């Protein structure tokens, strides 16, 4: 079910109506529904929840971007805070465009105690401002920016600590990448970040940040390097024209392949073949 605005979502989950159509800040009420099938809110959600079953004393933060599915199921009410903010606000304030906002529910942030103190304080301060009769949007967005900067730092800590899980994901990505062109599929598509993220059941933003953290290179650069590696083998073979190589690699237009090849290697495909 798609939910087009914050007011409709709050009505659905039995939360208080928002004071503003563009941004909503609140604490989870006891009336908040305990379960829902996947719904697709048309805005960003940032939340912290504590008291979740099976998580011990850990507080978790969850993120979703417009039209990402979110769903949950718990037997008992939970506590916490949330910020809901429209896509227009984020796109018009580029300093708020953090990649973790599109991680989805696949990768919550597990807060350490000292991190929890920081985040809860910022939520409470933002909520206090939100409840003022003459709330300041600039102040609210400043709180969001400060909170997002802390969250980004806390995710770096988590990427470094949960090595077993992340190493498995990184290895799975490279296995998929290294075997992508092994099939004889004539209708193969050019590999994309979205393709690998979908295969790994994570979001593209999460995959990109994870690979960059562990390798120092963005995921798209690894994809391009693999394309060039395979293309060099095909070009050396002399069995295919440059255009045929491009089509075999999934490029719809050969000039796009030639442009990428020259960008990565400094030479055209034809020059590489003939040198």
- Digit-coded pLDDT (tens) for 100-118: 999 987 789 999 999 999 9
Q: Report the top-level CATH class of 2-161.
A: mainly beta
- For the chain, where are the E strands, in sequence order? 2-3, 23-27, 35-41, 44-50, 59-64, 70-73, 79-85, 109-111
CB 205, CB 220: distance < 8 Å: no
CB 242, CB 235: distance < 8 Å: yes
Structural fold of domain 165-274:
Arc Repressor Mutant, subunit A (1.10.10)
Provide the whole-model pTM: 0.84
Q: What is the pLDDT of residues 184-243, one digit of tens each?
A: 667 789 999 999 999 999 999 999 999 999 999 999 999 999 999 999 999 988 888 999
The H or E element containing residue 74 is none
Phi, psi of 266 (to 5 degrees): 90, -5
The yes-or-no answer to whether 2-161 and 165-274 have a common fold is: no
- The domain limits of the chain are 2-161, 165-274
Q: What is d(CA 50, CA 208) in angstroms, rounded to the nearest whole number?
A: 28
What is the sign, positive or negative, of the torsion defined by CA atoms of 32, 7, 84, 134?
A: negative
CB 242, CB 253: distance < 8 Å: no
């Amino acid at each position: 079910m798609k939910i087009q605005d914050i007011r409709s979502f709050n009505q659905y989950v039995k939360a208080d109506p928002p004071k503003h159509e563009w941004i909503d800040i609140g604490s989870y009420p006891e009336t908040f529904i305990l379960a829902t099938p996947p719904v697709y809110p048309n805005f960003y959600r940032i939340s912290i929840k504590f008291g979740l079953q099976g998580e011990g004393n850990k507080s978790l933060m969850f993120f979703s971007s417009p039209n990402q599915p979110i769903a949950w199921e718990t037997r008992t009410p939970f506590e916490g805070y949330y910020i809901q903010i429209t896509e227009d606000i984020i796109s018009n304030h580029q300093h708020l465009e953090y990649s973790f906002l599109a991680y989805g529910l696949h990768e919550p942030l597990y807060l350490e105690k000292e991190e929890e103190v920081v985040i809860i304080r910022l939520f409470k301060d933002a909520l206090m401002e939100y409840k003022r009769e003459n709330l300041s949007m600039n102040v609210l967005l400043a709180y969001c920016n400060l909170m997002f900067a802390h969250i980004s730092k806390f995710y770096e800590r988590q990427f470094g600590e949960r090595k077993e899980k992340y190493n498995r994901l990184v290895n799975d990505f490279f296995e998929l990448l290294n075997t992508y062109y092994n099939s004889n599929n004539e209708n193969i598509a050019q590999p994309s970040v979205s393709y690998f993220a979908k295969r790994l059941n994570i979001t593209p933003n999460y995959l990109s940040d994870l690979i960059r953290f562990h390798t120092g290179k963005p995921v798209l650069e690894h994809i391009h390097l693999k394309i060039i590696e395979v293309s060099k083998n095909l070009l050396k073979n002399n069995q295919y024209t440059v255009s045929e190589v491009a089509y075999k690699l999934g490029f719809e237009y050969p000039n796009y392949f030639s442009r990428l090849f020259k960008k990565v290697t400094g030479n055209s495909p034809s020059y590489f073949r003939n040198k």
